[in-house]
Amino acid sequence: MSGKMKAVSTGSSNLKKISAVALSVLTICTVSACKSNKAAITEYSKPSFPSENSSAADNKTDSSVISDNSVQADENIPGSIFSVEEQERTNEKENKSESSSGRSEYARRDEIIINENTGTPIVSRAANEIKNRRNEILNSGNTEENYKITGKKIYVSENGNDENDGLSPETAVKNIFAAELLSPKQGDAILFERGSEFRISEPINAIPGVVYGSYGKGEKPAIYASPKNYAIKTFWTPTKKKNVWVANYGYDDPGCIVFNWGEDAGIRKANGLEQLVSNGQFYHNKLDSLLYLYCDKGNPGEVYSDIEICANIAIFYIDVGFTDITIDNLALKYSAAGAVWGWYYPRGLTVTNCEMAWIGGNASSGQIRAGNAVQIWDGATDCKIDNNWIYQVFDTAISWQGDNGHNYKNISFSGNLIEYCAVGIEIWDHNKQNKDCKVENFVCNDNIISGIGYGWGNRKNDAGLRGIEGIISGSASNLGHFEMTMKNNIFDCSYSKFIHFKNSGFDGIKRKAVITGNTYYQKYTDYSPSLTDFEFQGQTVRITSQEIFENAVRQFDSSPKKIEFLS
């Protein structure tokens, strides 16, 4: 999504000054095992674009529907809802399981990645390649096998203790911010134990020269921007409006609610409680920090084993001028803002072997909702975003973008598996200052990009739809030089735009880019707001047959490996 970021919470430099009390803001807990009650929320039709008014929300509280049982925020920790101690007592009271077996059980099921509740599943001709790539990424070796760590290693485990020195797996600390107090510097690493689950309520301000990665055995260590599992009976209070429950939610602009690790995803409403009429619909009143959810099965905390409310918090934030940061082998999920933000000309940013999902949906900048998984802003040098599995992103999976005409040099977006996002790879810089902007050695090879526009961000009646911009989307102005290699990718079905280079900045791209050997699958869709499937070098084509598809692709790819229209 272009340029809608600045209002999103991104943290500040005072993270280094965090006190012992503030350490408890980040709760570390485990996901409960799945309950037997797995009632479906509702069924959604295929993606469409209704004329629902998604302007600024009505922030006036309707006191007539609030239950007499009031909901109060915890006053000891600003912005929190429960203290860590209260969370632990509540979990014990509710007999929640102390293992992440639910997450393990669900994470590998195709119906949790996509189902009729969370989008529109497609039958892919690249199913075998997708399965193999997914397994390769999920089973990648630990960070020490992938990167040379020259400095000290700080270990973090959900079973650790913040009084430990953190210098061995046996003396791991429990909290990421406790690890930061151990003063990691260039060449050091912060390693998270596999199978652990960490929850944040503010961004992780990545430290220059530090490697963030994994150790141990099991599932990739998970870092969630949902501050807790909200499947807690006492968190939800019935209102006087039938089947509507209310909770005090002290975080900004929840982008989505994900139930049972992806069995279902909530439908956001922008204009008040009167819109809540079906299961899964929710409304957030920003002025009163109240979150309303429609659930006719009973208390949501009892109906579901896992409820993740995606806070508007970037998980990793790379500040201006920070360099040589590596993020490897982590599962980054449930953020309305983004998984990794590289802010203003990042240099040496590497993101590899990560799983990123359920990202985006914030509307902090107004009516348009946004949220990319990995975003590089206003120029970049020596950045590598490779071999990641990214799915169910409201906006774009991977993007470099900006407004000010900076240079983009030595950037790789390669070997990634991208599924069910609104956009696969997006590149744009509108160069408002009319600088001599150059793109040099941008490599986009060996990706599999599938099911674009078929995920949760493009469902019917979800307020403030992102819209669909394509498997590859580019928009630029006044580019003085554009040097790109795009080889051996599989581009597998988009609900609307397929290839979308949409204005004069990419005129003449064929003379400056090597695009060859890619595989193209597309099927007929009934997308109506635009009849553009293929937009490149001034041509706009609606794909309705094999012949039309072939002719369009060959204008883009000098020697395509395969072109197939799935009628």
186 vs 96, which has greater pLDDT?
186
Predicted pLDDT of residue 457: 85
The C-alpha atoms of residue 390 and residue 170 are separated, in whole angstroms, by 32
pLDDT exceeds 80 at position 9? no
The answer to whether the beta carbons of residues 415 and 387 sit under 8 Å apart is yes
* Confidence grade of residue 477 (pLDDT, cut at 50, 70, 90): low
**Which amino acid, residue 1?**
M
The C-alpha atoms of residue 350 and residue 386 are separated, in whole angstroms, by 8
Predicted pLDDT of residue 525: 81
Predicted pLDDT of residue 362: 87
Residue 361, helix vs strand vs coil: coil
| 553 closest CA partner among 490, 499, 501, 503 | 499
pLDDT average, residue stretch 307-313: 96
| 264 closest CA partner among 246, 282, 247 | 282
The backbone region for 260, taken as left when phi is positive above 0, alpha when psi lies in -120 to 50, beta otherwise, is left
The C-alpha atoms of residue 438 and residue 376 are separated, in whole angstroms, by 15
- In b/e form, how buried is each residue of 145-166, taking b as 16+ CB within 10 angstroms? ebbebeeebbbbbbebebebeb
pLDDT average, residue stretch 32-57: 29
The C-alpha atoms of residue 349 and residue 206 are separated, in whole angstroms, by 10
Predicted pLDDT of residue 417: 98
pLDDT exceeds 80 at position 12? no
Percent of the residues in the chain that have a pLDDT greater than 70, as a whole number: 74
Within 10 angstroms of residue 567's Cβ, the number of other Cβ atoms is 8
pLDDT exceeds 80 at position 52? no
The answer to whether the beta carbons of residues 153 and 185 sit under 8 Å apart is no
Tens digit of each residue's pLDDT (9 = 90 or more) over 481-491: 788 999 999 99
Element housing 246 (H / E): strand 244-248
Strand ranges, E, within 319-395 = 326-328, 331-335, 338-342, 350-352, 355-359, 372-377, 380-386, 389-393
141 vs 110, which has greater pLDDT?
141
Within 10 angstroms of residue 16's Cβ, the number of other Cβ atoms is 12
Can you say whether the dihedral through the CA atoms of 100, 421, 281, 228 is positive or negative? positive
The winner for highest mean pLDDT among 61-75, 489-503, 551-565 is 551-565
User: Exposed (0-12), middle (13-18) or buried (19+): which is 248, by Cβ within 10 Å?
Assistant: middle
Within 10 angstroms of residue 282's Cβ, the number of other Cβ atoms is 24
* Confidence grade of residue 186 (pLDDT, cut at 50, 70, 90): very high
pLDDT exceeds 70 at position 227? yes
Predicted pLDDT of residue 134: 95
pLDDT exceeds 80 at position 25? no
* Confidence grade of residue 438 (pLDDT, cut at 50, 70, 90): confident
Percent of the residues in the chain that have a pLDDT greater than 90, as a whole number: 56
Within 10 angstroms of residue 7's Cβ, the number of other Cβ atoms is 16
The C-alpha atoms of residue 548 and residue 268 are separated, in whole angstroms, by 38
179 vs 12, which has greater pLDDT?
179
pLDDT average, residue stretch 287-292: 93
| 332 closest CA partner among 410, 223, 206 | 223
pLDDT exceeds 70 at position 312? yes
| 500 closest CA partner among 546, 540, 459 | 540
15, 16, 21, 23: CA torsion to nearest 10: 70
Tens digit of each residue's pLDDT (9 = 90 or more) over 355-374: 999 999 988 666 678 899 99
* Confidence grade of residue 469 (pLDDT, cut at 50, 70, 90): confident
The C-alpha atoms of residue 54 and residue 310 are separated, in whole angstroms, by 19
Among the listed ranges 161-170, 189-198, 246-255, 422-431, which one has the minimum average pLDDT value? 422-431
- In b/e form, how buried is each residue of 455-485, taking b as 16+ CB within 10 angstroms? bbbbbebbbbbbbbbbbbbbbbbbbeebbbe
Among the listed ranges 11-15, 139-143, 317-321, which one has the minimum average pLDDT value? 11-15
pLDDT exceeds 70 at position 74? no
* Confidence grade of residue 497 (pLDDT, cut at 50, 70, 90): confident
**Which amino acid, residue 458?**
N
pLDDT average, residue stretch 119-136: 94
Among the listed ranges 92-101, 104-113, 287-296, 352-361, which one has the minimum average pLDDT value? 92-101
User: Exposed (0-12), middle (13-18) or buried (19+): which is 59, by Cβ within 10 Å?
Assistant: exposed
pLDDT exceeds 90 at position 434? no
The tally of CA atoms less than 13 A away on the side-chain side of residue 78 is: 2
| 335 closest CA partner among 103, 5, 48, 75 | 5
pLDDT average, residue stretch 327-345: 94
Predicted pLDDT of residue 368: 73
364 vs 258, which has greater pLDDT?
258
pLDDT average, residue stretch 194-219: 96
Among the listed ranges 76-85, 258-267, 298-307, 318-327, which one has the minimum average pLDDT value? 76-85
The answer to whether the beta carbons of residues 383 and 408 sit under 8 Å apart is no
* Confidence grade of residue 425 (pLDDT, cut at 50, 70, 90): very high
Predicted pLDDT of residue 381: 94
* Confidence grade of residue 502 (pLDDT, cut at 50, 70, 90): low
Predicted pLDDT of residue 76: 29
Work out the mean pLDDT of the chain and round it to a whole number.
80
Element housing 552 (H / E): helix 546-556
Tens digit of each residue's pLDDT (9 = 90 or more) over 365-415: 666 788 999 999 888 999 999 999 999 999 999 999 887 768 899 999 999
Return the structure tokens found at 112: 């949790």
The answer to whether the beta carbons of residues 257 and 242 sit under 8 Å apart is no
Among the listed ranges 78-82, 155-159, 224-228, 456-460, which one has the minimum average pLDDT value? 78-82
User: Exposed (0-12), middle (13-18) or buried (19+): which is 210, by Cβ within 10 Å?
Assistant: buried
Residue 429, helix vs strand vs coil: strand
Return the structure tokens found at 483: 């040097």
**What residue has token string 């004069």?**
504
Report long-range pairs for 58-62 (Cβ below 8 Å, ≥24 apart). 58/270, 58/271, 58/272, 59/285, 59/286, 59/287, 59/288, 60/272, 60/287, 61/285, 61/287, 61/288, 61/290, 62/272, 62/273
Predicted pLDDT of residue 480: 66
Element housing 409 (H / E): strand 408-414
Residue 318, helix vs strand vs coil: strand
